[in-house]
Chains A and B, each alone.
Chain A
């Protein structure tokens, strides 16, 4: 079945450093979504990417969808303590509404 892997599994950074998490799908995706989950909370939708090679920015966050639509990345510039949490990608293949979540990357930001 479809698998979505993320690396790294964990990342500790000093406040102000950059952070990147990578998402790789075993199958070609129709679109991909990114979520953030704070400890004890539920996933919060960040963004959706649909087009091959698409790049979207939200303030310090940059999201990219690979040309082959099988991988994606989330880059955070100059991390802040408020960025702490687990970041999940979730991919959907064509012909279905369901999303398969990636394994997640847990980010800790040290002040």
Chain B
């Protein structure tokens, strides 16, 4: 149980295009999901907190118009990297926090590797 999927697992795109990444909780509902970015050999940097039915909360320094987050249902959050540039190339990971549980455990997706040419 507690499986989180991400799609696609990897994507290569041209500079200037937009890329959408999906994060799904497969066997539980998640009111809250988190989006992280990880550069090679570095830590996970929290980008934003995604809340079902409301606007995402972005961390300082993260452009909300650049990284559009939509959490339209209790099992799906999407991250759209708009007008991607090579510096946006990174490993994007989502995590989902099960709704209604007392535990703070968050379950991570397998990640999406984005390469912008």
Contact = CB atoms under 8 A, between A and B. Distances in A.
Interface of B: 32, 34, 36, 41-46, 49, 60, 93, 97, 103-111
Contact of A42 (B43, B46, B49, B109): B109
A33 interface: yes
B43 A103 contact: yes
Contacts of A98: 34, 46, 49
B43 A104 contact: yes
A42 to B, nearest CB: 5
A48 B103 contact: yes
Given A97-B49, A104-B43, A43 B93 contact: yes
Contacts of A45: 105-108
Interface in A1-47: 1, 31, 33, 41-45
Given A1-B60, A48-B103, A88-B44, A97 B97 contact: yes
